[in-house]
Amino acid sequence: MLDGTVSLSRLIELYVFYSINTVKVMNYCGEQLSILHHTQYHSESILFNSEKNQEVAYDVFVSHASEDKEDFVRDFVKCLQQHGLKVWYDEFTLRVGDSLRRSIDNGLKNSRYGIVVLSEAFFSKEWPQRELDGLFAREVNGEKVILPIWHKISKNEVLKFSPIIADMLALNTSSFTIEEIAKEISDRVLN
């Protein structure tokens, strides 16, 4: 074809050639985007997990009323430590001059779990309830962090305080010894 025209068969041939190559290029680009997306997701996941692991300083945070230290909490915390847990507990963690709020916030956000020792005294105190609010905020984000212990109270009393907590499986100090509760919790946390 010397006159500058292209035959129909040549046009079809060029169309097919470019169509096939366009599909190949699009498939290649799609594969590369998929690989890039997977790599980015995997990298972000590794970064998130490494940051999360670096931030966790304690296995458990113990939220309680000061009235329950003498007959349960202090010995319970010692048992947890004997089972190998790193425990945020006010008597062992706070120092003279520390900011109470900042220290508690730090303990709440840097603990894997929050043990909540529910009692009549707990229900009447402001600070333990704030700690519980902080733990619930973490649960709203999908984490299961609250480990409740009922200390000298019944399910009905817990139900009056919080139906959500009453629905959680709890350990009861009237049914288990301090050692049994510490072992059950350490098994949960360490496994």
First and final C-alpha spacing in the chain = 80
Sign for the pseudo-dihedral over CA of 67, 68, 71, 75: negative
Q: At what angle do helices 74-82 and 178-190 cross, to 10 degrees?
A: 50
Measuring CA to CA, which residue among 158, 162, 160, 188 is closest to residue 174?
158
Query: What's the burial of 149, exposed, middle or buried (CB within 10 Å: 0-12/13-18/19+)?
Result: buried
44 catalytic? Reply is no
Q: At what angle do helices 100-109 and 126-140 cross, to 10 degrees?
A: 30
Q: How many CB atoms lie within 10 A of CB 126?
A: 7
Look at the block and give the residue holding tokens 């520390």.
Answer: 98
Out of 131, 157, 179, 180, the active site residue is: 131
Catalytic residue ranges: 131
